[in-house]
Amino acid sequence: MSYTFELNNERKDSNNVSGKVNAKSPVVEIFSAMANGKDLSRFGNKADVAAKYIMELNSKAVNGDTKAVSELNEIRRFAMEPVLMKEVKLLSIYGNYKNIGYNESCEVEVPDFANIDAKMQAAGQDVTFPVIKKKRVPVATTTISGGYAVDYRKAALGDMSDENELQEQVRVQIRNKAAKYVVETIYNAIKNAKGVKYFIEDSGLTKTDVDKVISDVRRFGKPTISGDYALISQFNGFAGYTGVTPTINGISEAVMKEIHDTGLMGMYNGAVLSEIPNPYDISTLNADGKNFETVLPTGIGYVIPAGAQSPIYTVTRGGLTSFSGNDVTTGQIISRFDMEIGALVAPGREFTVGIISDTNLSQI
């Protein structure tokens, strides 16, 4: 899957700007305030100067001035980047996350366990003991993009009403694509792992297979099962609850109330059940065209033990990079914002995360 899109006459904006504006420039804060519809009086005379400058740039952009387009995109980048980087840190829910500099090699330190077997030996003999070494492993990265077409004519008149919504759209696009990339990387790494792995794939979840994965993973720590509502809600049936019969036997009143209130059980066989929010991707229709696709596959759940060192590593390199160019289909001027992201499941440690997969639901 491609996580970016092409532009005709693509220009990297940082190579096409004056260099006078940086993240701490007043014009960036005033631009954000204008986009959010906030009162500019607190900025004093700086507000008038900055607003005039922003409108002049938009007027030049209307007339095809590529430097003005790049200057505006740099201001947007400085405005969006701090918010987006905070949101991207939520990738740490999958394991270890860090941001590295543009000039740093994309590697992570992973534990390498040595001498872990216990042996019997005669008195006075040397004994092997557990040693945790660190090794550096390269992380493959991909570029994730979000973007939009700007109405420069409208903005040239001082109307910034669309700007906040468009910036939010870019952040949502990048967040969703980043989560999808990480989920796909984890799934493929565990599915294709050699040796020990806790992975089941059925046409509909079966209690026998799910219980086995929970039992296997539980030895590393109390497991949490995370997945889409369509997957997690199937555990209700394992407790004997269908919600259609007038009398339900073999299920406690507390569990019945929990399912009634939330639609889900909170626990199953000592494992915490956790729904991963999975919104629609309104830009993509499903196979029959009757509904939207979801951002993440609905048929994959992760069984993650608490207290264990997570084998999942995600990284972002630098921050946002902005580009401008023309849409390959319409020729319209498009602003694109890129982020480099990587994900890795530590080689040889794939067994510390289990996967349950329902092929009746959407897959990778």
Structure confidence by residue, pLDDT tens digits, 280-308: 888 788 888 899 989 889 999 999 998 77
CA 184, 190, 192, 198 dihedral sign is negative
Q: How far is CA 218 from CA 207, 213, 222, 353, in A?
A: 16, 8, 5, 10
Q: List, for residues 112-145, the tens digit of each pLDDT value.
A: 765 555 555 555 555 555 566 778 889 999 999 9
Query: By the 8 A CB rule, do 183 and 345 touch?
Result: no
Examine the pLDDT at 189 and tell me if it is beyond 90: yes
Q: How do 7-12 and 300-305 pair as beta strands?
A: unpaired
φ/ψ region of 66 (left if φ > 0, alpha if ψ in -120 to 50, else beta) reads: alpha
Instruction: Say what the pTM is.
Output: 0.82
* Spatial separation of the C-alpha atoms in residues 184 and 178, rounded to whole Å: 10
The reported pLDDT for the residue numbered 283 is 79
In the predicted model, what is the mean pLDDT of the chain?
85
* Spatial separation of the C-alpha atoms in residues 90 and 95, rounded to whole Å: 10
| Percentage of the chain lying above the pLDDT 70 cut | 87
Examine the pLDDT at 69 and tell me if it is beyond 80: yes
Residue, of 264 and 272, whose pLDDT is higher: 272
**What's phi and psi for 49, nearest 5 deg?**
-65, -45
Q: List, for residues 308-324, the tens digit of each pLDDT value.
A: 788 899 999 988 999 99
